[in-house]
Structure 1
Amino acid sequence: MDLLVALDDSEPGWAALEYALEEHPEADITVTHVVDLSESGYGEFAHLGSDTMAERRRERAEELFEEARERATGREPPAEIETELLEGPPATEIIELAAERGVDRICVGSHGRTGVSRILLGSVAERIARRAPVPVTIVR
């Protein structure tokens, strides 16, 4: 089984990775993180510039990947994961990667957001679940 785990630096994101490692110990797991420069905090572009901001987000993604590798190799038996850094709209990039790689399942963390349609799911998790070409496991 090939699994794609969408990882952001949130409790549900880490829970999705832990779920994949625990429930599918024999799977080939690819952990992906998406850098989306269109979602910038107030004034980030003005203070840092887009190149600096992009580089900081890529560096943070590498830190997330390193922690994911540590969590995977710290298991018994140790697991190996592949990592993939993407740039663009998160849901779109994750869905496209899943299709390109022919994965069997996507694991993603849920997020409680405001608004009636997002009481249980974050907007990224919701878009992935609605549009993915494969089954999606959403972990809280």
Structure 2
Amino acid sequence: MIERILLPTDFSHVSMKVVDCVKDLKDVGVKEVVLLHVLDLNKILSPTSGVDLPAVIESYEKESMEKLKEIGKKLEGYGFNVEIVEVLEGDPVFKIIDVAEEKNVDMIVIGSHGKGLIKELLLGSVSEGVVRRSNKPVLVVKFDIIDDAVIKVFDYLPRKILYAFDFSEESRKLKDFVKEFAKAGEEVLIVHVVEKDEELTDKEIEELENMKKEFEEMGKKAEIFIEGGVPYKEIIRVMEDHGATMIALASRGKGSIREMLGGTVSNVVRRSIVPVLVYK
């Protein structure tokens, strides 16, 4: 069950768009939202001499708490119970991960923007850092950026789920999470990418067919796609060609060398313009 989520916000346009999208998760079973803002001193302070640092921090924290309360009221209006964590100082990635563990949430929901942006591809982001290091499932709500406008390209988050399946144990465990989302949706696209020199066995094909039947027995439309090529490229292509409203895939371990160098999960998170659920 997905009942309790952590929603970090930096009050940016993207973060505020995420708040609007969280209402879709009520249909998935989410009941409680833990709100968090992390004060990153490196981003709010300039190296100007004579700054009264304690006063600046106190003012910023007070302003941030007021904004969190406003967001909390909006979420309560959607029917969620809301817990607001006091404004924390430090590295956003590590603070988000710490609070997720402390509050024992079922999932972290965080915003990210664009595809192919220099910041995303070269410098990384808070969302990617959380995906890489967290032990909790992470839902990265993605938006496209067109002429500085934040564009939501999906209508209803769980409507059409692309379930990337690679026969790993992590990928199999993800199925139960996908089912929670599928309860509120209409269709599941089961995607397996055949890499070079790989051939599916009869047993593997049977597993895919049985999975399809499981979703159909839930009253959902389900379709299997067996594609050849680079996994992240094929996942993104199927998402675009078939109008998936979110992607779900499993991580093979936090902080792995493969992921740090640009594995399937990292590349999908960077390039997708629809939300990506990374299961841990």
Q: Distance in 2 between matches of 1:40 and 1:30?
A: 24
**TM-score when scaled to structure 1?**
0.82
Residue type matched to 1:56 in 2? Answer: S
Measured after TM superposition, the shift of residue 13 of structure 1 is 0.8
Task: Give the paired residue count.
Answer: 135
Residue 114 in 1 paired to residue 118 in 2? yes
Aligned position for 1:14: 16
**Matches of 2:139 and 2:102 in 1, distance apart?**
19
Tell me which residue corresponds to 1:71. Answer: 74
Q: Give the Å deviation of 1:72.
A: 1.7
Higher normalized contact order (CA 8 Å, seq sep 6+, divided by chain length)? 1
Which of 20, 38, 45 matches 1:34? Answer: 38
Asked if the contact 1:73/1:80 (under 8 Å) is kept, the reply is yes
Aligned to 2:52: 49
Q: Distance in 2 between matches of 1:64 and 1:28?
A: 18
Structure 2 residue 79 is matched with structure 1 residue 83: no
Q: What percent of counterpart residues are identical?
A: 27
How far has the Cα of 1:91 moved from its partner? Answer: 0.7
Shift in Å, 1:116: 5.8
Deviation larger for 99-108 or 32-41: 32-41
Structure 2: runs of 5 or more not aligned: 144-280
CA distance in 2, matches of 1:67, 1:129: 27
Structure 2 match to 1:60: 63
Match of 1:109, SS state, is strand
**Corresponding residue for 2:139?**
137
Take 1:31 and 1:23, find their aligned partners in 2: how far apart are those partners? 15
> CA separation of 1:96/1:114 partners in 2, compared to 1, >3 Å: closer, same or farther?
same
- Over the residues paired in the alignment, what is the CA RMSD in angstroms? 2.3
| CA shift for structure 1 position 118 | 5.2
Q: Which residue does the alignment assign to 1:97?
A: 99
Instruction: Name the SS for the 1:48 alignment partner.
Output: coil
- Please tell me whether the aligned partners of residues 119 and 125 of structure 2 are also in contact (alpha carbons under 8 angstroms): no
Q: Return the letter of the residue paired with 1:6.
A: P
With over 3 angstroms needed to count, the CA separation of the structure-2 counterparts of 1:118 and 1:82, relative to structure 1, is: farther
